[in-house]
A = this chain, B = another copy of it.
C-alpha cells in the first residue's frame, strides 16, 4: 500500500513481522530504544514525505509508551499506521502478565482500531488500516496483530485501497466567504494544515492583497513553509490576553482548515475562546476538506492572483559580542540556515523570538509539536530526516522537553541522520514557572523544586556522547555561528547545548 518505512521497538510477539522485513526488498526499518521515539518519528516522517510510516510495537504497554506522541500525531492530522503485536488469541484468556486491554490503549489516539484474529483476513485489514490513515485529514490507524495470526498459514497479500478523495467544498460556504471578503468588514483568514504550504500561502496572500483581509496561522502548525520568497504570516499568540488583543480588531474570521481559536489552557478570569465574542466565525474548509482547493476557489471568485512574499536579504550575523539571547540565537541561525532546511520547533518558552528571526532565513519548513504533549521534538526531527533525505534538520529544543525522549539521539546516530539539535538549556521548566504565576498559585520551595531541573544540572555533552552523538556547548553568539557552520558541513547528527 505504499508504506516502506517502519519505526519500531519490537518484542516477542512481533518476531515473525520482524523476520518478514527481510523478505520485502526496499523496506527501511528504524529501531528506537523507546516507543515514544518511534511514534514521534512516524509523525515527522509523514509530515515531510506526505506518506504514512508504519510503527511496530509490543503489546498494550509498548503501545502505551507511544501514546503521548501518537496524541501529538493525531493533533497533527498525519497518516500513521500502528502495528501492535499482541498475545496469541489462544493465550489471551490465560492472562499472562503482559496481557492488557490493547484496544483500550489504542482508542483515545486512533481513528481506526482493529484486532485481526484471522490470518486470511490480515492482508485486507492492513489495506483498510492504510486507507483509514490516509482518509483526510489523516489519522492514526491501529492494527493489533496477535502472535498466532502472524504465524498461522493462509495469509494473503491484499490489493491497496485508494484513499478516499477530500469531501467536496460546500459552494454556498464558498459564496458566503467571498461575500464576507467583499463586505468591507475587518476580516481574518485563519489558515491551518496544507494551507500553510507555499502554494496556499501565496493564494491567501493574493486574497489578502485583493480584499484587505489579513491572514494568520494557528498558534502551532503541522508544517508551515517559511523564509525568503514566501509570504510571512503571524500566528495566533499563545498567551490568552495577547491573543484576545490581537484578534479584537476582527469583525469576521474565515476558517480555512483551522478551528475557532481557543486558549491552550483555561485560566481563572480569562475567556476560553480568544476571538471577539461578537465576531462572525465562518467555516470555509474543515480539516478534512482540501484547504488549498478552497483558497484557490475563493481566489478565483474574487479575481485574486497568487502573491510571493516580499523580497528579503539573508539577515546579517549579530555582532560578535551580542548577548546570548533567544533573539540573537535565532538571528544567527537565520543567517546561516541552508536552503531547504527543516526546523523542528519544540522551543517552548524561548519560542517567539526564534520564530520571528527565522522569517528572514532561506526557504525552509517549520514543524511544531501539535498536541501539547512535550517530548516530541527529538523524535519528530528524527522522522523528518528519514522522510526528507538530503535536507538538514534543525531542532529548536527546550531542555526539559528533550529529556522525555532523549533516546532519539541514538537513532539519529545509528541512522546517520542530518539532525542538528540546539538544546535551549535553561535548566528549568520555564514555561511552568510562567504558568504558575498565570493561574495565580502561590509557590514555596517544594513547589519551585518541581519546576527546576538543576541539582544536578544535566550534562548535555555527556548525554549526547553517551548515545553516540557528537556535541558541543556554548553561551557565546560568535561561537554558536562557528558551531553552526561546522554542523552544516558535517554529515550525521550533532548537538549544541546553548546555555541560556
Contacts and interface: CB of A to CB of B under 8 A. Distances in A.
Interface residues of A, number: 103
Copies in the complex: 2
A448 to B, nearest CB: 9
A137 interface: no
A456 B468 contact: yes
Interface string A82-94: 0000011011001
A33 interface: yes
A338 interface: no
Contacts of A36: 65
A449 interface: yes
A61 B67 contact: yes
A372 interface: yes
Contacts of A8: 450
A393 to B, nearest CB: 19
A439 B150 CA distance: 11
Given A60-B71, A65-B65, A447-B19, A266 B463 contact: no
A35 B21 CA distance: 32
A410 interface: yes
Interface in A104-158: 104-105, 107-109, 147-148, 151
Interface in A431-480: 431-432, 435-436, 439-447, 449-451, 453, 455-468
Contact of A19 (B220, B262, B442): B442
Contacts of A451: 10, 18
Given A65-B67, A266-B87, A272-B90, A441 B372 contact: no
A19 B436 CA distance: 8
A345 to B, nearest CB: 14
A403 interface: yes
Contacts of A500: none
25 contacts: A11-B435, A18-B436, A18-B443, A18-B450, A22-B444, A29-B449, A31-B450, A33-B404, A33-B453, A60-B108, A61-B71, A61-B72, A65-B65, A65-B375, A90-B272, A95-B262, A101-B108, A403-B410, A404-B407, A406-B407, A414-B456, A456-B468, A460-B466, A462-B465, A463-B463
